[in-house]
Amino acid sequence: MTTEKNKIPCKVLIIGSGPAGLSAAIYTARAGLETIVLTGPTLGGQISLTSEIENYPGFPDTLSGVELIEKFQTQAERFGAKFAYDSSIRVDFSKRPFIVEAEGAVYFPENVILATGSKAISLDIPGEKEFIGRGVSYCATCDGFFYRGKNVAVVGGGNSAVEEAIFLTHFASSVTIIHRRDSLRADQIIQKRAMENPKIHFLWDTVITEISGKDRLEEVHIKNIKTGETRTMAFDGLFVFIGNKPVSDLYEGQLEMENGFVKVDPYMRTNIPGVYAAGETTDAYYRQVIISAGLGAMAAISLIKENN
């Protein structure tokens, strides 16, 4: 026997609970607009996987992603925002109020802010998930500082991978780029900088088959795809840059999108009035907590002004 889901109307529904979504919630709730945050599977999204954050303004002492998100949430709740620990499974933006069906309820919001973020494409190999935040990272800008004087590896051969490898040389004693091809895909000027950097080394035609260690990542198991040779190498950290994918499948066919990213105007408005988007749902370039928080505030302010 199936139970009919509760039907919940609201003024603002924010889909996603990372920095963009929670920043937006602070603003809309403070403006007196009834606000519900649909958290998704994990409160905080990707940032909840970050063990240490040192570059968020106003917090000179290191704090974890979970701790920062808790502060965002407390502030949003203080202004009256409500949180629904649920995941959206269907949206209909064809008319107002919009329809957002979650696993536990159906919401009928007058306005929606999409802040479902993005996720790094993983290697999908044994040990990777277990060592996220304990040696495996998807953001050199976020975590590079913690590998000062260490030996790290970078997976990938595009612009992001090579740029992040160069960035990591400011901290690490050695950076090894592991690439499944025999040449990089990055722009020539970026390749040149990497090739000329004495700290950067290359493993060509190579894939990682497994990651292992005790409390932290200690070893990376690799295979040469041309010779079939396998071996194990010791690393203190592994940075994966084989691509980033926005979490936006639900919006396909309803919103204007480009390469999976929701297209917005300078006011964070989508092509449908009343639907806004912010954070890594729209940002393919910066992918930083402070940027996402700022974009969330922009979306909220636009919404507030248009509902006065």
**Catalytic option among 10, 86, 124, 139:** 139
Which residue is catalytic, options 10, 142, 236, 283?
Answer: 142
Catalytic (active site) residue 143: yes
Is pLDDT at 116 greater than 50 in this prediction?
yes
Classify residue 152 as exposed, middle or buried by CB count within 10 Å of its CB (0-12, 13-18, 19+): buried
In this model, does residue 2 exceed pLDDT 50?
no
Catalytic entry in 61, 92, 124, 143? 143
Residue with tokens 């407390």: 74
* Interacting residues of 234 by C-beta distance below 8 A, sequence separation 6+: 151, 218, 219, 220
Residues 211 and 46: their CA atoms lie apart, in Å, by 21
In contact, 270 and 262? CB cutoff 8 Å: yes
For helices 159-168 and 188-196, what crossing angle results, to 10°?
A: 30
Asked if pLDDT for residue 254 goes beyond 50, the answer is yes
Compute the distance between CA of residue 163 and CA of residue 209 in angstroms, rounded to an integer: 24
Residue whose C-alpha is closest to residue 241's, from 122, 118, 124, 117: 122
Structure tokens at 146: 């913690």
Confidence band, pLDDT 50/70/90 cuts, at residue 208 = very high
The answer to whether residue 21 scores a pLDDT higher than 90 is yes
10 is catalytic: no
Question: 154 forms bridges with which residues in the sheet?
Answer: 177, 239
Tokens describing residue 279: 């954070």
Distance, in Å, from the CA atom of 222 to the CA atom of 205, rounded to the nearest integer, reads 10
Two tokens, residue 156: 């990938």
Per-residue pLDDT reduced to its tens digit, 53-107: 888 999 998 888 889 999 999 999 999 999 999 999 999 999 999 999 999 999 9
Q: Residue 51 above 80 pLDDT?
A: no
| pLDDT attached to residue 3 | 66
Degrees (nearest 5) of the Cα angle 206, 212, 214?
155
pLDDT value at residue 1: 38
Torsion angle of C-alpha atoms 45, 49, 54, 60, degrees rounded to 10: 70
pLDDT tens-place string over residues 211-228? 999 999 999 999 999 999
Domains of the chain: 6-119+244-306 (3.50.50.60), 122-240 (3.50.50.60)
Q: Which of 8, 13, 18 is nearest to 303 (CA)?
A: 13
For the chain, percent of residues with pLDDT exceeding 90:
84
Question: How confident is the model at residue 308, as a pLDDT?
Answer: 84
